[in-house]
Amino acid sequence: MPIHGVRLKAYGSGDDVAGISRVELWLDSDCDGTPDAGPVAAGVYPEDDGELVLCSPGQPIAVLLPGACVCLNIYYRMKCPDPPPGKYVLELTHLLGPDCQPLCQDGLPLRSAAKIVEPQLCCLQVDLGPTNPPDHRWSPGMPRRNVMQQMKICNPCPSPVLLKCIRLQAGGSGDDAKDIQAVRVWIDYNCNGQRDAGDTPFGAAVYPVDNGIAVICPQAQGVLQPEQCLCLVVEYLLKPGSKPGVTYFFRLVALEAVHPATGLPICVDGLPLPSSIKHRCHLIGEAKLAVPGTYLCLHRKVVTAIFPDRFYVQEPFQTSVGKDEDSPGGPAYGPGIAVLSSLEMPAGTEEGPEVGELVDIEGITAVHGCEVIIIPEVRHRVGSLLPAVQKALMTQVGSGGGPFGFQSGVSDCSDSELPVLQVSRKTNNVGSLVAMCGRVLAADESNAMFWFTDGSQLCDGSVRPVQVGVGVDASHAGPLPAVGSFVMVTGILSAVEDESGMCVRRLIPRGRSDIQVLVGP
């Protein structure tokens, strides 16, 4: 049963319009009383003792399976500094299904606990800052320092307030203690959401355990004057050894503040305050290690080649993480992987990718013939075209490589008539953009194929008679070079099966300019 929202009815002597700034609906999937990452719907009462619909008409907030239960938490965010005193109560009158229509259910209406508001001291107001970061992705090779939240703390009270410690409750499927080197907080003086040269540190901490609490106290006492606001930026410094496919987030669960003269605590309105969610995407090498059928994301991969039924992407940066927290690694030579073209975004069309652009891809891994591929479900452009796509100049025997995860290795001499098949032991680079030089030994005009060798003594048993060298599928690259000529061929190193089921190299140039005829060896 899909649940899309709830309908509420306000009661009590308190003024629901003047006293409540927002009503929030949170999903508590494990029913432990602690809500999940963020509110699924929010709204305000149109009038005192009015009705309110909190609903997501298109996407259900929860799907209730037979015999299963789900918990929903309803929160009131009271207006600061002084909500009107009185009793605040609500009734859950309906659960809502598709198109926000009432569902058939027992046990309703259900009355909430009563909130009694008495005249009290003015409260600090904390909320997300004006340039709070959205949910985002990260993978090794990207800058390790990542902004997770910008909070804005305002003092609407007539007296100064002394800021003490803040407490962050970690969440997500990643191991916060092992994967996060430090949690650092900076004073963001211009509230632009970034750590600028003039910004100063507020404090730093680490998570003692996974999903633990980091307590961060200011290095120097900070006083917030009346009617003054202050922005803080919370950043994670990530370690390179995290597992792919996990998430990280936190909630600001406490902000300790006191009156400077008396030391009495000051109330804080707006908690808990959720951070953005960080998704740790797969590297291409990790995608080839994943079990076929794994749903994953690839982040900021460069498009290296486009063919009618697929395109190829490659790591644009070194995936090892150095000392620099803010810069990605340098240019890298792979690995690469094929992405099938979807009907909505076919490769080689205006909607398709362009060689050199950076893309994010979500999809499912699969094995197609001799290659691990991605069957995409979502693709986004995330970067401008690179000035040059890196290619690896290599010997023929250095290409292909042995098995890597679910990516097959290639045979150095694939011939079912040989008593022993020679399997490559080199590093696997199937799917990468490479360049090789050699002399053309044979050509097959009818199939737009030719074979060339650099003297590495490889053989191709996928055809009869068996050919010496590496086979080139030139169907996208125009006329074949003459037999006996020396060439440098750039293209995607693919692999195809021979008659014995072994995989052999197949170099696929992207266009006519990828085959260069040389004067000599």
Tokens coding 443:
């050509």
- Work out the angle at residue 300's Cα, subtended by the Cα atoms of residues 295 and 304, and round it to the nearest 5 degrees: 100
How confident is the model at residue 349, as a pLDDT? 44
Separation of alpha carbons 95 and 101, rounded Å: 8
How confident is the model at residue 141, as a pLDDT? 79
**In this structure, what CATH number is given to the domain that contains residue 168?**
2.60.40
288 shares a domain with 275:
no
How confident is the model at residue 414, as a pLDDT? 58
Separation of alpha carbons 435 and 391, rounded Å: 7
Domain's final residue, options 257, 279, 301: 279
How confident is the model at residue 350, as a pLDDT? 44
Domain's final residue, options 83, 117, 151: 117
How confident is the model at residue 415, as a pLDDT? 56
How confident is the model at residue 55, as a pLDDT? 93
How confident is the model at residue 343, as a pLDDT? 43
The set of residues, in sequence order, having a beta carbon less than 8 Å from that of 461 and lying 6+ positions away, is 411, 413, 414, 415, 416, 498, 499, 500, 502, 504
Beta strands in 206-259 (DSSP E): 213-216, 222-224, 229-238, 247-258
Q: Does residue 175 contact residue 166 with C-beta atoms inside 8 Å? A: no
137 shares a domain with 97:
no
How confident is the model at residue 420, as a pLDDT? 46
* Backbone φ, ψ for residue 139 (5° rounding): -150, 160
| Residue ranges making up the domain that contains 349 | 284-383
How confident is the model at residue 31, as a pLDDT? 86
How confident is the model at residue 29, as a pLDDT? 81
How confident is the model at residue 405, as a pLDDT? 92
Separation of alpha carbons 235 and 237, rounded Å: 7
- Work out the angle at residue 425's Cα, subtended by the Cα atoms of residues 421 and 430, and round it to the nearest 5 degrees: 95
Separation of alpha carbons 53 and 396, rounded Å: 66
497 shares a domain with 413:
yes
Residues of the chain with pLDDT under 50: 320-324, 329-331, 343-346, 348-350, 419-420
222 shares a domain with 82:
no
- Work out the angle at residue 186's Cα, subtended by the Cα atoms of residues 182 and 191, and round it to the nearest 5 degrees: 140
167 shares a domain with 294:
no
When divided into structural domains, the chain yields a total of 4
Separation of alpha carbons 265 and 165, rounded Å: 12
375 shares a domain with 398:
no
**In this structure, what CATH number is given to the domain that contains residue 337?**
2.40.50.200
464 shares a domain with 377:
no
**pTM for the whole thing?**
0.69
141 shares a domain with 230:
yes
Separation of alpha carbons 319 and 298, rounded Å: 13
Cα 50 to chain centroid distance, Å, stands at 41
**In this structure, what CATH number is given to the domain that contains residue 440?**
2.40.50
440 shares a domain with 379:
no
67 shares a domain with 15:
yes
